[in-house]
Amino acid sequence: MSALLLSASPSPAQGRPQLKRPEESPSEKPPEVKKKKIKGPRAVGIVQLNRNGKGSLIPVAILIDGHFYDASAYKADPVPMALAAGTVYEAEQAGDSQGLFTVNGALHSQGTGSAHPWVGTGTFLPQGAVAPKSTRKAEDVPVGIGSGGDEPPPRLTKSAPSKPPGSDSAAASAPPAAGSGEKPKQNSAGASPADKSAANSADKTDPAKPASDQPPSESPASQPAGASTSSGQTSPNQAPSNQSSSKGSSSKESSQDSSSGNYYRPTLRRGKPTQDAAQNDAPQNDDSNQATAKAGANGVGSTAVPAAGAASKAPEPLRLIPAVSDAGGPEPQSYKFFWKTGEEEERRNQMLTLAANEIRAYANALARNHISAAPATPKAAASRQATLKQAKPEFDDVQFRGFDLWLTGQPVLILTAEARIPGWSEPGANAQPYQVTLVAHPDIYGDLHKLYAAVTDRFHLDVTPQLELIDVVDADGDGRGELLFHETSDAGSGYILYRATADKLWKMFDSLNAD
């Protein structure tokens, strides 16, 4: 019994109510937006625009599965994939859209030294412009269709011989032959001026009058081809023996007039033309053609004037705009950096100072590596280095730009220029001028941190190529901007893409060393 009571009595721990802590719902974190990795195809090109807004496209690179290939050679069977008809490129300047370029065709150059083996042709539509409506109009119904079958079938007939110019007017103005029974046509107002002039000319050349009273007749060469009467009679002063020769000359003249009257018929001539083909009424004879050819070959006469004028007029520079073609890529965004008052000039002077140091170091290296006939003494080398440190390079064609490539408000500065060192007559001075390319960005202390520096000249392009900045473009579609340069080296000219990091420039694509 006691055992039962002990088992039935509750323990102190069991009698206490157990309080449970409320379950705290975990804070919901917003889902992380993963950047979509662009695998391509994503093509990068350069749109060339002239003053009239017409342009062409140069293919540069194409991104396939995260790897860049040369766009002018990728799947060129028979046309590269980047230049397929109907491909649309969006031209971007510093990331801002400038318009759309639609490829219509491709041109291929088979020359071995061609800078651009493939060039795309098409139309460029600027930003904000409205595309022209291309509506097709119904053609006119040809004759013979829809007439209900009342019209007879067509016949093949020979065309009437072409009449020389002025033959109709001359035939109309000529009086009818004697005894033919025809009467001259008159309008409702009376005799026409042509009839009056024909009558006056007939009175002047009346056979009834003596020969002394009549005016001298014109030569057959000076008369027009249609000056003969409709009845085929010859003039009184013309001998019958000359009838055949006059017929041959008139037929020759009529053929010349008919050929000159036909605007669309080409005319073969020798030598260089002295005027437009549309203004020439008759072909020149052989003597004049030979004289013109000799004058053109010797560079004298009137042919030298347009050649000199054409040579003096320099071609207008083309506007180069990077362009991207990607059906599923991100929207373009601006990489412009907005300067504060006076900040741009200050940064420009700092970049020129860094560029001057790079040029002096390059010139000193050229002088040290130069092997002269007489070895230089240590004293002369020390004086040369001291002179070079005090030299101030002079810059020409300075191009300074800043971009917000990382979209963090910190600019990446790019400077390209041409420099000379005045008064520098040591070995290596014949390599002037120097081309310098400098890329830097300010650090947390405001000082410039150099990312890339290259100095070269026309004798050392095989070691260091010359770079000219075109613009910034998002080549891989990750939202950050890359720098697109035009590259010139001994191997040729091409294009190169660099990605700017905090320490240096990383090469992404080089068309001269592409896979």
Would you state the pLDDT for residue 111?
A: 79
Distances (CA, A) of 205 to 179, 202, 237, 242: 18, 5, 10, 20
- 57: number of Cβ within 10 Å: 29
Asked whether residue 87 is assigned to any structural domain, the reply reads yes
Distances (CA, A) of 138 to 111, 133, 135, 145, 386: 44, 16, 10, 15, 83
289-321: per-residue pLDDT in tens? 444 444 444 444 444 444 444 445 566 678 999
How many domains, the chain?
Answer: 2
What is the rounded distance in angstroms from the CA atom of residue 79 to the CA atom of residue 106?
7
Would you state the pLDDT for residue 159?
A: 66
Asked whether residue 152 is assigned to any structural domain, the reply reads no
Asked whether residue 429 is assigned to any structural domain, the reply reads yes
User: Where are any strands of DSSP class E within 39-187?
Assistant: 42-49, 55-64, 67-70, 88-93, 96-108, 118-126
Would you state the pLDDT for residue 369?
A: 76
Asked whether residue 261 is assigned to any structural domain, the reply reads no
Reported for 13-20, long-range contacts at CB under 8 A and 24+ positions apart, including other chains, are: none
Q: Give backbone dihedrals phi and psi of 94, rounded to 5 degrees, phi first.
A: 55, 30
The burial class, CB within 10 Å (0-12 / 13-18 / 19+), for 7 is exposed
Domain final residue pick, 80, 108, 126: 126
Helix/strand/coil for 119? strand
> Which candidate, 12, 8, 10, 121, places its Cα nearest to that of 59?
121
Token pair belonging to 443: 């650090």
Tell how strand 118-126 and strand 55-64 pair up. antiparallel
What is the rounded distance in angstroms from the CA atom of residue 313 to the CA atom of residue 321?
25
Would you state the pLDDT for residue 112?
A: 76
423-449: per-residue pLDDT in tens? 766 555 566 899 999 999 999 898 999
The count of C-alpha atoms lying within 13 angstroms of the C-alpha of 128, restricted to the half-sphere facing its C-beta, is 2
Helices (H) and strands (E) in the chain, counts: 9, 15
> Which candidate, 418, 449, 452, places its Cα nearest to that of 434?
418
Domain final residue pick, 126, 144, 160: 126
Asked whether residue 116 is assigned to any structural domain, the reply reads yes
Asked whether residue 316 is assigned to any structural domain, the reply reads no
What is the rounded distance in angstroms from the CA atom of residue 492 to the CA atom of residue 139?
52
The burial class, CB within 10 Å (0-12 / 13-18 / 19+), for 248 is exposed
- What HEC string does 420-437 produce? ECCCCCCCCHHHCCEEEE
Would you state the pLDDT for residue 351?
A: 96
Helix (H) or strand (E) holding 170: helix 167-173
Would you state the pLDDT for residue 128?
A: 86
Asked if residues 487 and 469 have their Cβ atoms less than 8 Å apart, the reply is no
Predicted TM-score (pTM) of this structure? 0.60
What is the rounded distance in angstroms from the CA atom of residue 497 to the CA atom of residue 89?
18
Would you state the pLDDT for residue 147?
A: 53
Partner residues linked to 325 by β-bridges: 43
Asked whether residue 157 is assigned to any structural domain, the reply reads no
Which residue, chain included where needed, has tokens 């001291």? 386
Token pair belonging to 376: 């230089």
Asked whether residue 507 is assigned to any structural domain, the reply reads yes
Which residue, chain included where needed, has tokens 């068309």? 511
What is the rounded distance in angstroms from the CA atom of residue 430 to the CA atom of residue 366?
10
Q: List, for the chain, all residue ranges whose pLDDT scores fall below the cut of 50.
A: 1-8, 169-172, 178-181, 184-194, 198-199, 201-202, 204-205, 207-213, 216-250, 252-255, 257-260, 279-311
Domain final residue pick, 126, 157, 186: 126
Domain that holds residue 436: 343-370+378-513
